[in-house]
Amino acid sequence: MFGMLAVFAEFERDIISERTRAGLDAARRRGRTGGRPAIDDKIKRQVKALFEAGESAKDIANEYGIGRSTIYKIINEESEKKAGAK
């Protein structure tokens, strides 16, 4: 009995996966893309300047409408670029 239930559950999971892929493909054909929009380089420079000027990450995040962790990613990304260039 449990074997049959497992077979049905796997079948249902496969159907859901196929429907999801079909929906994503249909959206791509209509010109839609998923994910969050990328942060502009201009905004990254402004965020870095504000952070270096002593502004808190929380205040910067609230001002630009992005997450605090994103602020730290931007700062680390810039410092990694400098370290790689040396």
Per-residue pLDDT tens for 23-57?
Answer: 999 999 999 888 888 899 999 999 999 999 999 99
CA distance 57 to 67: 9
The pair of structure tokens assigned to 20 is 């999801």
pTM of the model: 0.58
CB count in 10 Å sphere of residue 85: 6
Give domain limits for the chain.
1-35, 41-85
- Note the pLDDT of residue 34: 82
CA distance 64 to 44: 10
Using alpha carbons only, what angle is made at residue 43 by residues 41 and 48, rounded to the nearest 5 degrees? 95
- Note the pLDDT of residue 12: 97
**Smallest Cα–Cα separation from 39: which of 73, 80, 76, 81?**
73
Say which CATH class 41-85 falls into: mainly alpha
